[in-house]
Structure formats: structure tokens, C-alpha cells
Amino acid sequence: LINCLMVIFFIWSAFLHLGAVDNFHTWGRGASVYLEMLLWYFFTMRLFCTDNIRKTYISMLVVITTLIFCMIICVFALGWFKVFHNLSMNLNALGLYATLAFPYIFYYSLWIWPNSVKKYVTCSICALVSVICFSSGAWLAIIVMSPLIIYFAWSSNKLSMKSMSIGLCLAAIALVCVNSISNGAILKRFTVELAQVSALDKMDSLTNHRYSIWIGTIKMISGRPLTGYGRDSFDAEHARLLAHDAELAKATGVFDHAHNTYLELAFAGGWPSAVLFILIVMLLIKKCWENRRLIENGIPWNMIHLTLLAGMIVYGFTGDVFEARRDLAVIFWTALGIMNCMPERHVVQQK
């Protein structure tokens, strides 16, 4: 069923708006996002078909991501942009990376290295990067994911009050050290974030102008609610909208995406596209929940992906994983494929 819905989601999102785009190039750029997702989803199901391959994948992901996070911390704290030029990424992109990596690193460390110092090192580094990304969407997603990780780890005897206290202390010490080395950059940024959060009476200030973008996106969707305009048409359509809406033009400039996964999907492929994506996610959540206690090669895959999906649902309200198509989105596409090819409880019991 999930495979069928994925194909329908691709066809609806990639082709039904074909008559609304300005040219074939614009259509191709937008439709290729869904093609990449579909191909990588089925490629993952074919490639990651054994438990050993899946364990190798998560082991490499955790180690490589931790090393990249270490370099990002150096970039942030020490200003090593000349050394790690390509790691001076947008903070929203860093927030998405932290959100995607968070459940993998924490569950893997707690289950595979329960009595090793490596557990504290990897989790502390991931937690530190999650803080210094200063992405509200990532923070909200991690706030939702953290209780799930604590609950599953505690109920599986993988976490104690002592180890949790040690981990929090190490993360706090690392945060203070990075703030000191960076001449108070973290504290200064926190004051900016606090001022933004305090503006409860000003939705644009509270959401960093996303509110006006969302209002504009909803207005655009109302023009083509069933088929949408295509992913690569957002900036052109947004410019047309602002040319005829002086109040909205005063509040925001022209943007190239909606800063919201669900509104972006509805803009690109109509509301049916957004509904199909949400339905796919809900079915995967159901599967992960039903098999949450299954452990494969020491890896709690269903707990990992249940937590990841919960976080990505929240992240989707202020960000869009589809916009990270060239690098980070592949982690999410891989997760979707692994979720669907994982064995279910009744199959394991029969074996």
C-alpha cells in the first residue's frame, strides 16, 4: 500500500500541474525533486534489504556525521572558514541536519555503546550542534523527539539518571567552552532569539517573517487547489501575488519557497499532494509503532524512525526537507525506504 501511495504521490505532484508552468525547464526542475525521492526510496528498499547492510549504514552515518559535526563546531567557535570552507552552511540547513541525525546518533550510541565513553562524546556533540544551529524548527523538532528517546531508552534499560546527568553536564560544559572561545557569540545569538520569541503580539517577528509567506502561499494555493503550480514556480507566482497585494508586499519580499513542508507540497501539487504525503507518513508511523520493540542486530530501527517521523512532522511546520534535495534530503529518503523494507513483528515470530 505504501509503495502504491508513493507512486501516486509522485505522479500527482510531478505531472498534474504541467499546464500551469511557464516552460518545460521550470517543470523539469520541480518534478525532478519527486523523481529523486521516488527513485532513492525504491533504491534503498533494494539495497538495504539485509540486516547487516542496514547496520553498516547506520554505523557509517553516525561516525561520519559526528566527524562533520566536530568540524562544524570548529567553524562556529574558531572561525575556521578557510580550512572547512564548505561547512559554513546556512543555519537552517544545519538545523535540518541536526534534526535528521539526532535520533540515529542517540539511539545508536545508547544501544551499541551502553557502557562506553563514546556514548557521551557522540551524544554531547550532536546536542551541541542542535543548540548552535539556532533554528527554531529544529529546536521544536528536537523538543518533541527528546522525550521519546528518553522514554524508549529508559524503558529498555539503556538510560539511567546517572548517565543522563553526565551527558547533560558534558553538553553544558561544551556549550560554555564554545561560547567562550567564540567570544560570546552563542550568548549574543541567544539574546536575538529571545527577543524574537518574546514578540508574541507580532507574528512576523515571532516567525521571522514566515507568517506573511504562509499567508501568501495559502492565497496562491486557492488559485489552483487541486493541481498546484509546480515546485520551481514559487518565486514567480509569489512575485505576481505581491504585485497585486500591497499589504502583503509591505510585510515581505519575494521568496522561492514556502518555509513549510505542507504548504509547499500543496502549492506545488495541490492539496491532494500534501494529503498523500501525510498519509504515507501516518502509515509508516503506524508500522513503526506496531514493531517498536523489535531489535535487529542490536539496532532499535523502529524506535529510531518513529522518533524521526515525529520530529519531521513538527519540523515541517517551519521548514521543508524537499528543499534540501542536493544533500540532506537523501537521509530522509533513505529512512523512508528502510522503514518500509524492515521486517514486521508477525514475520519475525513466524521465523
Per-residue pLDDT, averaged over 283-306, amounts to 92
| Mean pLDDT for the stretch of residues 125-154 | 89
Distance from chain centroid for Cα 295: 24
Looking at residue 148, what is its pLDDT?
94
Inform me whether the pLDDT recorded for 107 exceeds 50. Answer: yes
**Would you state the pLDDT for residue 83?**
47
Q: What percent of the chain shows pLDDT beyond 90?
A: 34
| The amino acid at 340 | N
- For residue 25, the model assigns a pLDDT of 78
pLDDT bracket for residue 350 (50, 70, 90): very low
311 or 212: which leads in pLDDT: 311
User: Does residue 100 register a pLDDT over 70?
Assistant: yes
- pLDDT for position 303: 94
| Whether residue 127 has pLDDT greater than 70 | yes
Task: Tell whether the model's pLDDT for residue 87 goes beyond 70.
Answer: no
Q: Is 90 exceeded by the pLDDT of residue 20?
A: no
pLDDT score of 2: 87
Pick from 49-58, 74-83, 182-191, 248-257: least confident: 74-83
Check residue 264 and give its pLDDT. Answer: 92
Is residue 221's pLDDT more than 60? yes
Q: Which comes out higher in pLDDT, residue 261 or 192?
A: 261
Mean pLDDT for the stretch of residues 167-175? 85
- Predicted confidence band of residue 259 (pLDDT cuts 50, 70, 90): confident
The least confident of 48-57, 232-241, 334-343 is 232-241
pLDDT at 231 (0 to 100): 84
Query: Which residue from 317, 131, 322, 314 is spatially nearest to 210, judged by alpha carbons?
Result: 317
Q: Does residue 271 have a pLDDT over 90?
A: yes
Question: How confident is the model over 334-340, as a mean pLDDT?
Answer: 91
Average pLDDT over residues 145-171: 89
| Overall average pLDDT of the 275-299 stretch | 92
Query: Is the pLDDT assigned to residue 351 strictly greater than 70?
Result: no
Report pLDDT for 347: 52
Q: Which amino acid is at 286?
A: K
Asked if pLDDT for residue 81 goes beyond 50, the answer is no
- Cα(170)–Cα(123) distance, integer angstroms: 9
Reported as a single tens digit per residue, the pLDDT across 45-63 is 888 888 899 999 999 999 9
Q: Is the dihedral of CA 99, 316, 335, 346 positive or negative?
A: positive
- Mean of per-residue pLDDT scores for the chain: 83
36-42 average pLDDT score: 90
Which is higher by pLDDT, 195 or 30?
Answer: 30
Mean pLDDT lowest for which of 90-94, 104-108, 144-148, 227-231? Answer: 90-94
Q: Which residues contact 74 (CB under 8 A, 6 or more apart)?
A: 80, 83, 84
Hey, what long-range contacts does 237-241 have (CB within 8 A, 24 or more apart)? 237/267, 241/216
